[in-house]
Amino acid sequence: MSTTVATGIPKPVTPALTRAFAILGAPVLSVAAVATWAASIHTIDPYKAGPSGLVLLLPALWWVSLALAVAAIATALRRCNPSGVDAVCALVSLAFILHGTLPASEPVPRFDAAYSIAGFTDLLARTGHILPRVDARMSWFGLFSGAGMVSRAMHVTPLWFLRWAPLTFELAYLFPLKALANASLKTDRARWAALALFLASNWIDQDYFSPQALALLLYLVICTVAVRSLADRTPPVLLTSFTRSRPWAKASDWGCRLLKLPFHPAPSETSINELSSRQRASAVLVVLLLGTVLVVVHQASPVALTLVLLALAVFGRTRLRFAGVYLGFLIFAWLSWAGEPYWKGHLAKVFGGVGNVNSTLQSSVGARAAASTMGRAAVELSRYGAALVIWIAAIGGVYYLWRRGRTTWSMVILACAPVAIGGATSYGGEIALRILLFSLAPLAILISGLVDEELRPRRGVAAFSAVFILLLSLFPLARYGNESFEAFAPTDASSAAWVHRHVPLGSDIYVFSRDEPLPYTDVGAYKTIQLGALVLSGHLQLSDILPRTAAYVYLTRSQEEYGVVFDGLPTNWEVRFERRLAELTFVHPIYRNPTAVVYAIMPRLGQGGVTK
């Protein structure tokens, strides 16, 4: 159907429905996605999760909501210059579905580490004092004091922050990520796509109420200032003389021919704004101020930032030549002064693995690889798979853009420099996760290079879509895979409250593992001793293991699941352990609810017990 206008050329009349879809399609799909997701939440029972976590319990409606959110994103990004409203609606719906499912389906906050952080925050809120000799993490008390101060003004306990912290932090990360993408990618479509990819790939579960979650926000903003406001394209003299040398020229010539890459690609980053001296000074001040706060918030994040800033300076991508040195000095100063309780007890841990990137990463990866069941193995493999997909896709994105004559070296440096943190600290089994966390934002931007062309690049869009769908498929397994033991039932939480009301301060409390919600208050009030595999001992051995002085045994559903899923104990280990406890005359149950039990150990004559 068409109409003829004054020029005589027939003008096609777009049907009203198509026009309406073009304007409202993405927002309508986003609202439908969130509504469907909300309807699916009440059917999810996280306390029935098995070794593979929540994925087998997700109803069909949840997957429909995810499909609607993906459709919203595809609709929003079909144009090279998507509407900001469309993109925001689609991204918010995706964020709610991926990162809001756990807070929405679990009435009580999850994850034992979050309760420990709440406990530190509670101590600061009530007293304004830290106790680093009780827990050395309190030497980096920035989050605890800040949140403690604010919680007093809010008239809440720090537990209030726990439940929706992950979704809040994920939404907050999108702003510096968008700012980075705006400076690195040419088209609006690619810039928004980077945000969607970040949401789909952040299964890492470090966005709970924690110092590292807050630190990541500061880290991303500082990186944005470094590569955007203080961007530089002048490589240092040493680097220039190296790249002009004959061996390098031969190697790069050979490499470019082999990979069919152009010899002199243009930088993909937006052209550098020439700042006035006042603007440059304020940008430097921003980095120094935020970096100073970062040093008191978290141990590892400032180290990663220092490495990144040094790498950016070495490769001439930022005008911040000495910020890395300043931060390094601050880290050392804080560790020496306020971190004394930490390094006194953990000297080998802090410096033991220095220079040993390979073994630190291997121990980090290897420890996580041990899986006791098929479901657990599936969860671990999904995490490896997702990490592999992200890195390979990022390499593909770099190659794709380079073939088209553009490079994004600042993002490559931001993605790769944090790997060195594996050799700079001995952070234990978490280091591989932390490296991926710091690298995730620039990796998402590099992958979005696949769609960073004005004319819709078919191959690039197909590759990006495949990566996005693959990451979304792995996300529920990777992210929700620990729910059988990381979720706390309401009765687990109420048992912890009962313990704090009735068990005398200073008591010894025996637990199977620290996967329990006790530490949310009264930090240092109890000495918690882990029994571990000793729960499999016979009752005669238990009689020797358990102390002769008054103490308590505290068991919860979360600990039982942890033993089964993570430590490979038999499924009925807790029932059998309780039967053996019942055979001991000096052990009596004093509290029980459907998911938790507290036993009192009566004093006996003689010595004996279990040390932590």
Partner 1 sequence: MIRPSARLLLDGLADVAGTLALACVVANLSTATRPPLVLAGLVFSSGWAVTAALPLPVDTAFAVALALAFGVAVPTAVSIVLVEGGWWRPITAVTVLLVAASTTNVFHTARHLRQMGRR
62-70, 140-148, 197-205, 383-391 -> range binding partner 1 (CB under 8 A): 140-148
- Tokens encoding 307: 């490495």
121-129, 251-259, 260-268, 486-494 -> range binding partner 1 (CB under 8 A): 121-129
283-291, 314-322, 501-509, 536-544 -> range binding partner 1 (CB under 8 A): 283-291
Nearer CB in complex with partner 1: 195/489: 195
Contact pick of 5, 16, 60, 153 for partner 1 (by CB under 8 A)? 153
276-284, 405-413, 421-429, 523-531 -> range binding partner 1 (CB under 8 A): 276-284
Nearer CB in complex with partner 1: 57/130: 130
Contact pick of 67, 71, 150, 365 for partner 1 (by CB under 8 A)? 150
CB 536 within 8 A of CB 487: no
143 scored as a contact of partner 1 (CB under 8 A): yes
Cβ of residue 84: shortest distance to partner 1, in angstroms?
9
Q: Which residues lie across from 587 on neighbouring strands? A: 601
Please give the C-alpha separations between residue 247 and each of 242, 251, 264, 428, in angstroms, as whole numbers. 9, 6, 17, 40
178 scored as a contact of partner 1 (CB under 8 A): yes
Helices (H), ranges, 370-457: 374-403, 409-416, 421-424, 431-447
279 scored as a contact of partner 1 (CB under 8 A): yes
d(CA 53, CA 31): 28
| Number of residues assigned to the chain | 612
Count of CA atoms in the C-beta half-sphere (13 A) of 13: 7
Sign, CA dihedral 433-438-439-440, equals: positive
129 scored as a contact of partner 1 (CB under 8 A): yes
d(CA 335, CA 425): 13
Closest CA to 444 of 267, 260, 220: 220
Contact pick of 57, 113, 162, 179 for partner 1 (by CB under 8 A)? 179
Sign, CA dihedral 210-214-215-220, equals: positive
93 scored as a contact of partner 1 (CB under 8 A): no
CB 304 within 8 A of CB 427: no
Nearer CB in complex with partner 1: 448/484: 448
Give me the residue label for tokens 């008054």: 550
Cβ of residue 147: shortest distance to partner 1, in angstroms?
8
64 scored as a contact of partner 1 (CB under 8 A): no
117 scored as a contact of partner 1 (CB under 8 A): no
Nearer CB in complex with partner 1: 156/266: 156
Nearer CB in complex with partner 1: 30/229: 229
d(CA 198, CA 173): 9
Cβ of residue 169: shortest distance to partner 1, in angstroms?
10
- Report CA Rg, the chain: 27
Nearer CB in complex with partner 1: 228/383: 228
Q: Which residues lie across from 407 on neighbouring strands? A: 267
Secondary element (H or E) of residue 534: none
Give me the residue label for tokens 């937006």: 270
142 scored as a contact of partner 1 (CB under 8 A): yes
Contact pick of 13, 35, 85, 156 for partner 1 (by CB under 8 A)? 156
CB 474 within 8 A of CB 389: yes
Contact pick of 282, 358, 541, 571 for partner 1 (by CB under 8 A)? 282
Cβ of residue 181: shortest distance to partner 1, in angstroms?
8
How far out from the chain centre does Cα 511 lie? 27
Contact pick of 30, 105, 145, 301 for partner 1 (by CB under 8 A)? 145
Q: Which residues lie across from 500 on neighbouring strands? A: none
Contact pick of 22, 56, 172, 600 for partner 1 (by CB under 8 A)? 172
- Tokens encoding 299: 């141990």
DSSP 138-176: GGS-HHHHHHHHHHHHHTS-GGGGTTTHHHHHHHHHHHH
Contact pick of 20, 154, 392, 575 for partner 1 (by CB under 8 A)? 154
Contact pick of 63, 175, 326, 384 for partner 1 (by CB under 8 A)? 175
d(CA 513, CA 531): 7
Nearer CB in complex with partner 1: 146/265: 146
Secondary element (H or E) of residue 53: none
124 scored as a contact of partner 1 (CB under 8 A): yes
Nearer CB in complex with partner 1: 55/295: 295
CB 492 within 8 A of CB 556: yes
Q: Which residues fall within 8 angstroms of residue 110, CB to CB, at 6 or more apart?
A: 102, 208, 483, 486, 487, 488
291-299, 376-384, 408-416, 479-487 -> range binding partner 1 (CB under 8 A): 291-299
141 scored as a contact of partner 1 (CB under 8 A): yes
Cβ of residue 78: shortest distance to partner 1, in angstroms?
21
Contact pick of 3, 7, 271, 276 for partner 1 (by CB under 8 A)? 276
Cβ of residue 88: shortest distance to partner 1, in angstroms?
11
Contact pick of 148, 316, 341, 481 for partner 1 (by CB under 8 A)? 148
155 scored as a contact of partner 1 (CB under 8 A): yes
d(CA 83, CA 72): 12
x/- track of binding to partner 1 for residues 189-228 (CB under 8 A): -------------------------x--xx-xxx-x---x
Q: Which residues fall within 8 angstroms of residue 344, CB to CB, at 6 or more apart?
A: none
274-282, 312-320, 447-455, 508-516 -> range binding partner 1 (CB under 8 A): 274-282
**φ, ψ (nearest 5 deg) of residue 246:** -65, -45
Please give the C-alpha separations between residue 542 and each of 115, 134, 502, 534, in angstroms, as whole numbers. 29, 28, 25, 8
d(CA 551, CA 152): 33
Nearer CB in complex with partner 1: 169/203: 169
**Residues in touch with partner 1 (CB under 8 A):** 124-125, 127-130, 141-143, 145-146, 148-150, 152-156, 160, 172, 175-176, 178-179, 182, 214, 217-218, 220-222, 224, 228-229, 273, 275-276, 278-279, 282-283, 286, 289-290, 292-293, 296-297
